[in-house]
Amino acid sequence: MQQATPLPATTLPKLPKAPTGIDGLDEITEGGLPLGRPTLVCGSAGCGKTLMAIEFLVRGIEHYGEPGVFMTFEETADELAANVASLGFDLKQLQTDKKLRVDHVHVDRSEIEEAGEYDLDGLFIRLGYAIDSIGAKRVVLDTIEALFSGFPNEAVLRSEIRRLFRWLKDKGVTTVITAERGEGTLTRQGLEEYVSDCVILLDNRVIDQITTRRLRIVKYRGSTHGTNEYPYLISEDGISVLPVTSLKLEHKVSNEIISSGVPGLDEMFMRKGWYRGSSILLTGTAGTAKTTLAASFAAETCRRGERCLYFAFEESPAQLMRNMLSVGIDLKPYVEQGLLYIEASRPTLNGLERHLVTLHKTIGEYRPQAVVIDPISNLVAVGSLSEVRSMLTRMIDFLKISGVTALFTALISGRHGQLELTEEGVSSLVDTWISVRDLEGVGERNRGLSILKARGMSHSNQVREFLVTEHGIQLLDVIIGPEGIITGAGRLTQRIQEEAQRVVKQHEADRRDRELERKRRVLEATIANLRTEFETVEEELRHISHEESTREAALRDGRSALATGLTSDYLTAQPNARP
């Protein structure tokens, strides 16, 4: 049986899109708005519909060279130009350069006299002329409710809406149409969302007196898109959408090790520090020197000639620098050199998303190698635990993608020893978790430090006592007593006892040395006496030997003389004998 040969895979053309140039929006729309098709932007009052539409036009002109037409039914051209001038948009100059055309169409039901069937033919002629006059590629209609106020007949209204959207498609311009939200529907007419190719819903909600704006792509024909709610902000630079929740875990990692700024702490890691680009969580109760440890890391970063961004939620820059100077950490020179930038504000000053956008913007402008946020637990006052966790997740992901080393401090409850953000909500997000806590003894309070986790490297499992001195953080050597690790006064007592034992042992050793010296001297004296006695005996023996030798010599001489004398007498008695 002949096997079927698989057909080669064909690549289908993707839907052409027009990039908006709005920060983050092109990411969640996967390229921009549908090219040559209408997009509906709807929402309640104050959510930024007009601003998003005008920024779509301005960015198209500045970044992509596409002229645009802004047809407004509520504001005049002068009012619109004045409203967006604070964002850096010079609409009058763009109109002078023939890149933008702003057309104000006044529609007032009370001023309309019915003289036949009302339709949009006049609008088509006017809009078509505006498009052709500058070769526009982008069009904005703001807002559509004002346009349809002249239609008392709902059937005619629906027909004209469909005809308007079809006319825009036939014209081939990428259109943004703004609309007000209705009761139970996305728009007041309840029809625009069905005939639009893309629908973007803007929402402005207030939770616990904190305003949060969110954006959602309701539908996008012919294209995949982000389906979550994404927070966005309106700042002096326009609209910023934060689609960080859709990011994948595909960031690059570094094997470079950098110092924590505390030599003793570095020694607790196998590789003498932590990885560049990692995230570090420093938790502890109040007064356990979390800020001092964070400032030590910031100062060490600046000593390497790298930039550090410090977000302080509890202290002003002047107070932080003064307090750190008392422990030997001088931050002021680094601030003056531009290596350290301290952003200080109360968390309740802005919402969570505002803080996140500030972080994005400041990192983009300052380009730091390290970021310190002290403390993240104060963010609980701004939002719920789930919202804070979501914000921190996006923040940590963004910092990792940017290759920035991040150090977070967090306050834990002394009563339960739990993070205010919940340990499950924070500790699992970071790469390294360091705990500082009180080591309470009898009538005293000491500080201890331990490493709870460090992804990618082994580390010490000891609880190290540390001191905050005039020269910064100093980790003390571990002293083991009968009942375990000794800290504080117990450490001093142990040292005193060890010193006393050392003195006793030294005295005992000195006594033994003296006893040995005495014995040595006695022995030497005994040896000297024995040597003297030996020499006396030796001398006596030598004298006796000498006397005996002398006596024997005398006897020999006597015998020899005697023998010689006898021979002479014999020869005299024998005269005839020959000699």
- What is the structure's pLDDT at 273? 92
Most confident region among 18-32, 180-194, 221-235, 295-309 by mean pLDDT: 295-309
562 or 78: which leads in pLDDT: 78
Question: Cβ(84)–Cβ(142) under 8 Å?
Answer: no
What are the sequence ranges of the domains in the chain? 17-241, 257-478, 482-579
Angle, alpha carbons 238-242-243 (nearest 5°): 135
Q: How confident is the model at residue 422 (pLDDT cuts 50, 70, 90)?
A: very low
Which amino acid, one-letter code, is at 105?
A: V
Q: At 323, is the pLDDT very low, low, confident or very high (cuts 50, 70, 90)? A: very high
109 pLDDT higher than 80: no
Query: Per-residue pLDDT for 305 more than 90?
Result: yes
Percent helix, strand, coil in the chain (nearest 5)?
Answer: 45, 25, 35
- For the stretch 121-127, contacts whose Cβ atoms lie closer than 8 Å and that sit 24 or more positions apart, written own/partner, are 123/147, 123/164, 124/167, 127/69, 127/71, 127/103
Give tens-digit pLDDT for 116-137: 455 678 888 888 999 999 999 9
Q: Which of 30-39, 80-89, 186-195, 202-211 has the highest mean pLDDT?
A: 30-39
pLDDT tens track for 484-514: 555 555 666 667 777 788 888 888 888 888 8
Superfamily of domain 17-241: P-loop containing nucleotide triphosphate hydrolases (3.40.50.300)
Single out the residue of 364, 375, 387, 307 nearest to residue 341, CA to CA.
Answer: 307
Indicate the average pLDDT of the chain: 81
Exposed / middle / buried, residue 59 (Cβ in 10 Å: 0-12, 13-18, 19+) = buried
Task: Please list, in sequence order, all residues whose beta carbon lies within 8 angstroms of the beta carbon of residue 242, skipping any fewer than 6 positions away.
Answer: 24, 230, 231, 232, 233, 353, 356, 357, 360, 394
257-478: CATH, from 1.10.10.60, 1.20.120.530, 3.40.50.300, 2.30.42.10: 3.40.50.300
Average pLDDT estimate for 234-241:
80
**In a 3-state reduction of DSSP, which class is residue 86?**
helix
Residue 2: pLDDT band (50, 70, 90) is very low
DSSP state of 269: B
| pLDDT interval class at 246 (50, 70, 90) | very low
Determine what percent of the chain is predicted with pLDDT higher than 90. Answer: 28
Question: Hey, how many other C-beta atoms are within 10 angstroms of the C-beta on 517?
Answer: 10
pLDDT at 114: 45
Q: For 16-33, what is the mean pLDDT?
A: 88
Least confident of 60-74, 337-351, 520-534: 337-351
> Does residue 17 carry a pLDDT above 80?
yes
d(CA 244, CA 395): 8
Q: How confident is the model at residue 115 (pLDDT cuts 50, 70, 90)?
A: very low
Residues 433-478 have pLDDT tens digits of 999 988 776 667 888 899 999 998 999 888 888 888 888 898 887 6
Highest average pLDDT, of 85-89, 103-107, 179-183, 304-308, comes from 304-308
pLDDT at 66 over 90: yes
- Fold match between 17-241 and 257-478? yes
pLDDT of residue 121: 80
Quote the pLDDT of residue 478: 66
